[in-house]
Chains A and B, each alone.
Chain A
Amino acid sequence: MQQLRFFCKTGFLTLLVGLISVALLAALPTSALAQQKTIKYGTMHPLTGAYAVLGLDQQRATEMAVEEWNAKGGVLGHKIIWLHRDDELKGNVAIRRVKELVEEEKCDFIGGTLSGSISLAMNEFACKTKTPYMAYCMSDMVLGADQCEYGAAFMVLPYSASLAVSQYAFKNVGKKWYSITADYRWGHSLLEGWIWQSQQMGGQFLGNVYVPLGTTDFSTYFAKIMAAKPDFIVMNNLGADQTAAIKQAVELGLTKNMKIICTKTAQSTIKELGPAYNENVMGGMTFYWKLSSKYKGAKTFVDKFMKKYGSPPEQDGESAYVASNLLFMAIEKAGTVTDKKKIMSALEGLKYELTKGPEYVRACDRQRVQSYVLVKGKGAKAKGWDIADIVAEIPGDSIIMSCEDNAKKLPFINVKLPK
């Protein structure tokens, strides 16, 4: 009887303890147990303004990369919390919002943007706050004084784009050229590359017009160009600016007498221009979806993106996807989520094969070394997303200067830009 009483007593106590434990455990998911380890990645994209389409592409590809990593358990067991902001393609807005991401949202890593000058400002902020920054766009930030150990760049350097496209142009299109250049640092860097290459390959530079970002009427610039009679016009601009410039050049019948070569173009621009982006219009890209017939990684990436968003990725999305993946790969390689220096070191020299052939991040300046693709429009023959053909793929190593030259911005620093 005593045993029974003892059993009842202890049984009751056990039951009571058990119930309390279950209640505590039920309560815990909102406190201790729920505190799954996380890292925060904050990105900026121009979702408003001339590059809005490309900004959206970056945002989507980053989302895709984060989802893929989280689906396989995150990075070193840490779930990735991804936050993103619209930088509106404005430097002051970008700085305000990147501060918000780092200082208020406590992001451990930052990335993104599509303007060379904004990426420089973000890089400066990253250097000051020691926050690793993955630049998605063409930017000079890995050159000279702009370089610091917390920045890495995943689109080609601006001059690399110029070298790739100009090599082809001077060999296959003609020697006399005139340029239309977006009047900010990125455009100027592209022009420097063109002028230097022109000097090396016997090109004849007839002149340049600097055009403010967001210009919608280019007709007033064309009279000067028509009078100069170049073999081709170089477009050192992008997005809505490039769309308007090409459309109006075709309206004036310029492409009947000369070619248009865009140092960087975009799939959305070709799509939007339709028949106007004809076989007389060419452009450079780091990625075009037709690379999927050449590289297995490209096919996987393009198919996944198409399935998720209904259109093939732009080069800007591809850059965002690679940058995000490489950040997470570097964290895994470094074996730490907190030691930022170690993570950036792990990025240096990292070899991978993601969306194109084998590539690497150069150890000396954390610049992704990748090929550059030249496409030619299909004009009226375009069908669906089959809007251009790949003309050439220029290997990455052939269009990048040595680390020593890069640090001194050689040889481009010696190029005198026209006024």
Chain B
Amino acid sequence: MSEIPWNVIAMQLFFGIALGCIFVLLSSGMSIIYGLLDVVNFAHGTFAMLGAYAVFVVVSLSDSFFVGIVSAVVIVGIIGMVIEFLLLKPLYGKDPLLPLLLTFGLSVAIPDFMKIVFGLIGKPISFPDALSGAITLGPLTLPGYRLFIIIFTLVVMISLWLFLKKSDLGMIIRASTRDSQMVQTLGINVSRIWTVGFGMGVGLAALAGAIAAPMMSATPDMGVDMTMTAFVVTVVGGLGSLGGAIVGGLFIGLVVAFTSYVASAYSSVAMYFCMAVILLVRPRGLFGEQGRE
């Protein structure tokens, strides 16, 4: 095999990290939901799709991509909280299959609803003017938007970490993840924490969909692949672990990027292969807690 030029390796690394950042946002939302509620959210990608459409609508109205991103998180987060409150909450404490079936049902029904409302042709979202185009650094061509994704994800994850670590609500959420009964006995309404946590989780999914949207358009079926990717990353990183979601997301992004270079046809299969290997070697994932495999 011929030698790979260093600039190509550097670019693959860059693209892999940018792709991984979208995976990080997506799977950290799934991890929060699983960690807090023990619910495997089959509709996670569907919420990401809603985020992409929310950006499309808000950008069409306001002409500002950044307003679009913030609105997508808020709108989808609220939708998520309403769904949790009305549909998921009554199922807690019952058969664990029920929430799974409910979210699976949502993953079928919501895209069909979007097809009726928005049609089958994807909705394009332009790259924001300030971030369109590429930056050339010698032999490297780095698209501005991907650079933004990396920096933006870094800011979001640091903020999320600070929120969970330093704020009162964050600490309650973390405590609820560990032992919700204990939190309940301290007089805190855990039920509300679950609602907020679910809203946060799907809000992060919406954020992933929103920042991915300019690269691929918003389509009703885009959530299917996103759900699968979120599962793979979450399983690789460890169910319910935020750190695992970050490491897992970046790892899978890089795996996809470098497989695309050496054996392009296997780029999709590669992440499933990684998941299978990790499940065999370490069933609880890279950062998962024992007993949560």
What residues of chain A have their CB less than 8 Å away from a CB belonging to chain B? 48-50, 52-53, 56, 183, 209-212, 214-217, 219-224, 226-227, 240, 243-244, 247-248, 251-253, 268, 271-276
Q: A219-B15, A248-B215 are in contact. List 14 more A-B contacts (CB 8 A).
A: A52-B221, A183-B264, A183-B265, A214-B225, A215-B267, A217-B215, A217-B256, A220-B261, A220-B267, A223-B12, A240-B217, A247-B217, A251-B132, A252-B141
Could you count the A-B residue pairs with CB atoms below 8 Å apart for me: how many are there?
A: 109
Known: A219-B15, A220-B257, A251-B215. A227 touches B7 (CB 8 A): yes
Kindly report which residue of chain B lies nearest to residue A257, judged by CB atoms: B141
Determine the chain A residues whose CB is within 8 A of the CB of B267 once the complex forms.
211-212, 215, 220
Query: Complex formed: what's the CA distance from A53 to B121 in Å?
Result: 6
B256 touches A253 (CB 8 A): no
Query: Complex formed: what's the CA distance from A219 to B19 in Å?
Result: 9
Known: A219-B18, A268-B121. A251 touches B145 (CB 8 A): yes
CB distance from B97 to the nearest CB of A (A): 25
Kindly report which residue of chain A lies nearest to residue B257, judged by CB atoms: A220
A48 touches B215 (CB 8 A): no
CB distance from A217 to the nearest CB of B (A): 5
Determine the chain A residues whose CB is within 8 A of the CB of B214 once the complex forms.
247, 251
B19 touches A223 (CB 8 A): no
A243 touches B264 (CB 8 A): no
B19 touches A220 (CB 8 A): yes
Q: Which of B5, B134, B146 contacts A227 (CB 8 A)?
A: B5
Q: Which of B5, B124, B134, B257 contacts A274 (CB 8 A)?
A: B124
Listed from nearest, the 10 A-B pairs whose CB atoms lie closest are A220-B260, A223-B11, A210-B265, A209-B264, A220-B257, A212-B268, A244-B216, A219-B15, A53-B120, A183-B265
CB distance from A179 to the nearest CB of B (A): 11
Q: Which of B11, B120, B264 contacts A210 (CB 8 A)?
A: B264
B121 touches A221 (CB 8 A): no
CB distance from B9 to the nearest CB of A (A): 9
User: How many B residues touch the partner, as a band?
Assistant: 35 or more
Determine the chain B residues whose CB is within 8 A of the CB of A247 once the complex forms.
124, 214-217
Determine the chain A residues whose CB is within 8 A of the CB of B96 once the complex forms.
none
A216 touches B16 (CB 8 A): no
Is B222 among interface residues, defined by CB-CB distance under 8 A?
A: yes
CB distance from A209 to the nearest CB of B (A): 4
Known: A52-B221, A220-B257, A251-B127. A243 touches B133 (CB 8 A): no
Query: Complex formed: what's the CA distance from A224 to B11 in Å?
Result: 9
Is B182 among interface residues, defined by CB-CB distance under 8 A?
A: no
Q: Which of A53, A212, A251 contacts B143 (CB 8 A)?
A: A251
- Contact sample, A vs B, 9 pairs, CB 8 Å cutoff: A48-B221, A211-B265, A212-B267, A219-B215, A220-B267, A240-B216, A243-B217, A253-B133, A272-B124
Query: Complex formed: what's the CA distance from A209 to B122 in Å?
Result: 25
Kindly report which residue of chain B lies nearest to residue A251, judged by CB atoms: B143
User: Which residues of chain B in 132-148 are interfacial with respect to chain A, using CB atoms and an 8 Å cutoff?
Assistant: 132-134, 141, 143, 145-146
A272 touches B122 (CB 8 A): yes
Q: From B18, B124, B216, B222, name the one whose CB has the most chain A CB atoms within 10 angstroms.
A: B216
Interface string of B191-233 (1 = CB under 8 A from A): 0000000000000000000001011110101100100000000
B122 touches A240 (CB 8 A): yes
Determine the chain B residues whose CB is within 8 A of the CB of A223 once the complex forms.
8, 11-12, 15, 261
Interface string of B260-289 (1 = CB under 8 A from A): 110011011100000000000000000000
Determine the chain A residues whose CB is within 8 A of the CB of B225 once the complex forms.
214, 216
Determine the chain A residues whose CB is within 8 A of the CB of B12 once the complex forms.
220, 223
CB distance from B151 to the nearest CB of A (A): 17
Q: From B18, B19, B122, B132, name the one whose CB has the most chain A CB atoms within 10 angstroms.
A: B122
Known: A52-B120, A216-B216. A221 touches B141 (CB 8 A): no
B221 touches A253 (CB 8 A): no
Determine the chain B residues whose CB is within 8 A of the CB of A271 once the complex forms.
121
B120 touches A56 (CB 8 A): yes
A273 touches B264 (CB 8 A): no
A224 touches B8 (CB 8 A): yes
Determine the chain A residues whose CB is within 8 A of the CB of B7 once the complex forms.
227
Query: Complex formed: what's the CA distance from A350 to B5 in Å?
Result: 56
Kindly report which residue of chain A lies nearest to residue B262, judged by CB atoms: A224
